[in-house]
Copies of this chain bind each other. A is one copy, B any other.
Amino acid sequence: MADWKNTSELNSFKKLGEVKPVDLKTAMSGENGAKRVKDYSIKMAAGLSYNYAAKAVDENVISALKELADEADLAGKFEELYNGAVINTGEKRMVLHHLTRGQLGNNINADGVDKREFYLGEQKKIAEFANKVHSGEIVNEAGEKFTTVVQIGIGGSDLGPRAMYLALENWAKKNGCFKMEAKFISNVDPDDAAAVLASVDVAHSMFILVSKSGTTLETLTNESFVKDALKKAGLDASKHMIAVTSETSPLAKSSDYLQAFFMDDYIGGRFSSTSGVGGAILSLAFGPDVFARFLNGAAEEDKLAAKKDIMENPAMLDALIGVYERNILGYPATAVLPYSQALSRFPAHLQQLDMESNGKSVNRFGEPIDYVTGPIIFGEPGTNGQHSFYQLLHQGTDIIPLQFIGFKENQAGVDVDIQGSTSQKKLCANVAAQIVAFACGKDNENRNKNFKGGRPSSIIVGDQLTPEALGALLSHFENKVMFQGFVWNINSFDQEGVQLGKTLAKKVLAHETDGALAAYSALLNI
């Protein structure tokens, strides 16, 4: 059994604070900088690599991080997790999302079944359903093929699947496996559903209702909205809807749906992209084979996360460097900057993944802690961000660590040569230039044009954003967040912080308010 201690109780953490800080500007200058770029790199799955040359670390810092990894027993804790320990202490649940894409440890039995078999079974059911939709075996009331799939879900049922869909849409079109266009309805704002419904041909649309509990307010409201629209169009809603939910939810056996696919309480929403939550929409949009390739990429990356040596475990190393930046260097945020338009919503997914998992102020036993935990996560794709908030990143008064992502090749395979280079080369040149600009800066006598440098970044580099590469990327960040939660001794798998707002919103709607809540209700004319 792993020993769960607060970060501040670890001797190795105290030692980490005593290691001499690295002068990043000096370290990255000249041939030493070139050597770091070559040496400070770890292989990931699907041909990706994690390069941390431009992080403010050296052999001494890394050595201290290794000690921290050992003392906090990060590898042992992950092993307990994937062997079925009740890691989610708040909700007293196992944490099994890794099992949706592979098996790292023991067989895990729960709810009377082998859980790996259960997840595989749901994946297979979804694949069969998707194949029938694509082949025309499952059709609408008029006997016509479905052309569009619309996911109704919020939070983890929206952000991850949406980011994954956008990430692979152009790749699928280029590679002949684009089957159905996908859309997403998430917000309880009725203008969200209205706009999406106006943009699709409902008669040829399949709707996926995604809610683990089957009670999510936004999702049920939007389901009603969609059912109204189907009814108004003279259509039978039950011929247009499927559900992804838990077997115990009210949706599970409802005749309102063509079919229901299952997840369970061991898959948190923000970790559910590789379950049926992502599986149904991605299998319908791109075919089950593409979804399987995506899972394979994640499973391969998970294997690396199970390695004990941080030099072979990019997620663990990335996590530890993040802890160093957050708790020792005192940086409040991390910017995620993918140089790939396909990853335009990947930062929004990581924002949920990270901030909902590790934005906690008590340890896994419910005791207060005396150190900071999860940082703010934000980001936009490059080069767009360069023309937006990079000014602050380069010359602002706070240092914000950066997480770049880049690919050598684009997805669509169309490009243009101008001023002696392609767009893709320009894109890559920009990310290379930014890393060095942030790390090394540039002195200028005009201090308004001076760049201090010393601003740390890492980059994940790949050949192309394929399904496997996307799966590996997703797994990397899921496991990074998990390892940081282990270091901080918090429970990364519950989200009690979302409950109070829900409770108060119900009071407002029931007009059971007083004080400020009543006054705000009046202000908003509720």
A195 to chain B: closest CB distance in Å? 5
A411 to chain B: closest CB distance in Å? 5
Q: Kindly state the separation between the CA atoms of A331 and B507 in the bound complex, as whole angstroms.
A: 31
* A509-B420 CB under 8 A given contacts A37-B520, A387-B155, A429-B521: yes
Q: Evaluate contact between A359 and B504: CB separation under 8 angstroms.
A: no
Q: Evaluate contact between B386 and A372: CB separation under 8 angstroms.
A: no
Residue among B189, B193, B341, B451 making CB contact with A189, cutoff 8 Å: B341
Quick one: closest B residue to A153, CB to CB?
Answer: B387
Q: Evaluate contact between A34 and B451: CB separation under 8 angstroms.
A: no
Residue among B220, B357, B412 making CB contact with A195, cutoff 8 Å: B412
A406 to chain B: closest CB distance in Å? 6
* 0/1 string, A494-515, CB within 8 A of B gives 1: 1111111111110111000011
* A519-B360 CB under 8 A given contacts A195-B341, A436-B504: no
Q: Evaluate contact between B416 and A355: CB separation under 8 angstroms.
A: no
Which residues of A from 388 to 403 have beta carbons under 8 Å from B?
388-398, 400
Which residues of A from 374 to 423 have beta carbons under 8 Å from B?
374, 376-378, 380-384, 386-398, 400, 406, 408, 410-412, 414-416, 418-423
Asked whether A136 is an interface residue with its Cβ less than 8 Å from the other chain, the reply is: no
Q: Evaluate contact between B195 and A169: CB separation under 8 angstroms.
A: yes
Residue among B191, B433, B461 making CB contact with A501, cutoff 8 Å: B433
Q: Determine which residue in A38, A225, A341, A434 has the highest number of CB atoms from chain B within 10 A of its CB, and name it.
A: A341
Stretch from A56-64, A250-258, A441-449 that touches the partner: A441-449
Interface of A is mostly: helix
Asked whether A440 is an interface residue with its Cβ less than 8 Å from the other chain, the reply is: yes
Asked whether A129 is an interface residue with its Cβ less than 8 Å from the other chain, the reply is: no
Contact residues in B for A367 (Cβ distance below 8 Å) = 447
Residue among B193, B361, B418 making CB contact with A395, cutoff 8 Å: B361
Which residues of A from 333 to 367 have beta carbons under 8 Å from B?
333, 339-342, 348, 351-352, 355-362, 366-367
Asked whether A192 is an interface residue with its Cβ less than 8 Å from the other chain, the reply is: yes
Q: Evaluate contact between A410 and B523: CB separation under 8 angstroms.
A: no
Total copies of the chain = 2
Asked whether A173 is an interface residue with its Cβ less than 8 Å from the other chain, the reply is: yes
Q: Kindly state the separation between the CA atoms of A408 and B522 in the bound complex, as whole angstroms.
A: 10
Q: Evaluate contact between B500 and A394: CB separation under 8 angstroms.
A: yes
Q: Evaluate contact between B391 and A192: CB separation under 8 angstroms.
A: no
Contact residues in B for A408 (Cβ distance below 8 Å) = 524-525
Asked whether A260 is an interface residue with its Cβ less than 8 Å from the other chain, the reply is: no
Asked whether A288 is an interface residue with its Cβ less than 8 Å from the other chain, the reply is: no
Quick one: closest B residue to A219, CB to CB?
Answer: B387
Quick one: closest B residue to A331, CB to CB?
Answer: B332
Q: Evaluate contact between A498 and B410: CB separation under 8 angstroms.
A: no
A445 to chain B: closest CB distance in Å? 10
Q: Evaluate contact between A392 and B416: CB separation under 8 angstroms.
A: no
Asked whether A158 is an interface residue with its Cβ less than 8 Å from the other chain, the reply is: yes
Residue among B384, B397, B431, B441 making CB contact with A154, cutoff 8 Å: B384
Contact residues in B for A221 (Cβ distance below 8 Å) = 416, 418, 423, 426
Give 9 nearest A-B pairs by CB, closest first. Answer: A359-B392, A155-B387, A33-B516, A37-B519, A433-B504, A359-B396, A378-B378, A394-B497, A352-B388
Kindly list 10 other residue pairs between chains A and B, CB separation below 8 angstroms, not including A225-B423, A360-B397, A425-B526. Answer: A36-B516, A155-B386, A187-B341, A187-B427, A192-B341, A359-B395, A359-B397, A361-B395, A432-B517, A461-B524
What are 7 A-B residue pairs whose CB atoms fall within 8 Å in the complex? A53-B516, A333-B333, A359-B395, A359-B396, A390-B498, A394-B497, A448-B496
